[in-house]
Structure 1
Amino acid sequence: MTPLALTPPASEPVSLAEAKLFLRLDTADEDELLGTLITASRLMIEAAAGRMLIDQTWRIVLDRWPESGEIRLPLSPVSTIVAARVFDALGTPHPVEAGRLVLDARCDPPAVRIAGEAPEIGRARSAIEIDVVAGYGPTAAAVPAPLRQAVLRLTTRWFEQRGDVVGRDAAALPAEIAALVAPYRRARL
């Protein structure tokens, strides 16, 4: 199973204005850098939490339907199945009928269940594509406050301590930021 990002979030969980207020910045001299740090921080927090923060569209690519009839998605939370298609032996895509795939967003990780017979596939690799919307919602207001705070704190850390700190944080989040993310991490057994 391969997840592919199709469309990034329309906005970030922390606005440039919020970050500038937090940092007590009055000028626009470093707005571009700060915007880049906000995006990088969001990506880092999403990776650490195993959760997408703002709604974004992803494509899940599978070689074949699972025997169990259930696909556990590698993304969370997932709100919608946008589209699904299967490919025949010639590589022609065929849409999967609405209702043939049922999203169970309540479980973690979210699952897609096949209702009835699985649509027939025709090629051995990348035969199934399922497009989903993953994220807490379309705006920052939908993102849990601790995760927004984690993005803000990491952005601030990287802005104030430029240099090697980003490389060190890539190995492990600082303890105070990891504590904000911890309740949202997906448990791994």
Structure 2
Amino acid sequence: MLLVEETAPDQGALPVAALKSQLRLGSGFDPVEDATEHAALAGFLRAAIATVEARTGKVLLTRVFRLRLEDWRDPAAQPLPLAPALAVESVEMTDRTGAVTAVPADQWRLIPDNQRPILAPVGAVLPTVPMGGSVTVRFTAGFGTSWGSVPADLAQAVLMLAARYYEDRGFDSGQQLALPHGVGALIERWRAVRTLAGRGGRA
């Protein structure tokens, strides 16, 4: 399985002002210094978002992902590794020679779910993956394009974690592996049992 993030969250969607308020940081008079601080806070927020998403399997800000599999986990119902999935943009088969063929959209459908979205066949099973080849699924996932779309507990977890990263920035990064207790408690209900995205048994 190979999962690639094709698009990044829009810079303007990051809650830099909220983090700044939480850290009780005022605005300076030097625009260059303010821009530097803004970029640093955005970096801590991106790191916090990545951590929360990795722990929960939930995409906070909507973007496009590309999933490549050597075979379906189950040709009758292929789980997608991230939620909430909003749309499947395309499904493509690649044979052992590298030739790519688009799978018509009338052969598959998305079953949305906040925990375990499914790519399902319109008929009995999904199209057969070529021997020695792969299938690529492009899909869009996320709660929304603005920070206001993110559930309140996940949003607060990100702010708390980003603030921790800001405060601990002078320490060894190895000390930041464990989530603060408050952050763990906020994301607990969103954590789901992770499933393998594919068998990967083809050679």
Report TM bin, short chain: 0.7 to 0.9
SS in 2 for 1:7: coil
Shift of 1:135: 1.1
Shift of 1:112: 0.7
**Contact persistence 1:80–1:103 (CA under 8 A):** yes
Residue identity in the other structure for 1:153: M
- Of stretches 15-24 and 70-79 in structure 1, the one that deviates more from structure 2 is 15-24
- Of stretches 113-122 and 177-186 in structure 1, the one that deviates more from structure 2 is 113-122
Q: Which residue of 1 aligns with 2:132?
A: 124
Shift of 1:89: 4.1
Question: In the TM superposition, what whole-angstrom CA distance separates every residue of 1:95-129 from its partner, at most 9, and x where no partner exists?
Answer: 1111311111126311111222543543414x210
Q: Which residue of 2 aligns with 1:98?
A: 105
The TM-score, its normalising length taken from structure 2, stands at 0.82
CA distance in 2, matches of 1:157, 1:163: 11
Stretches of structure 2 lacking an aligned partner (at least 5 in a row)? 29-33, 196-203
- Of stretches 116-125 and 44-53 in structure 1, the one that deviates more from structure 2 is 116-125
Q: Which residue of 1 aligns with 2:60?
A: 53
Q: Which residue of 2 aligns with 1:182?
A: 188
Residue 136 to residue 164, structure 1, CA distance change in 2 (3 Å)? same
Q: Which residue of 1 aligns with 2:200?
A: none
Shift of 1:58: 0.8
Shift of 1:153: 0.9
Question: In the TM superposition, what whole-angstrom CA distance separates every residue of 1:7-57 from its partner, at most 9, and x where no partner exists?
Answer: 122247642122112222123152222111111111111112221111111
Matched residue count: 187
State, as a whole percentage, how many aligned pairs show the same letter.
29
Q: Which residue of 2 aligns with 1:146?
A: 153
CA distance in 1, matches of 2:172, 2:129: 48
Matches within 5 A, 1:4-15: 4-11=4-11, 14-15=14-15
Shift of 1:149: 0.7
**Contact persistence 2:88–2:110 (CA under 8 A):** yes
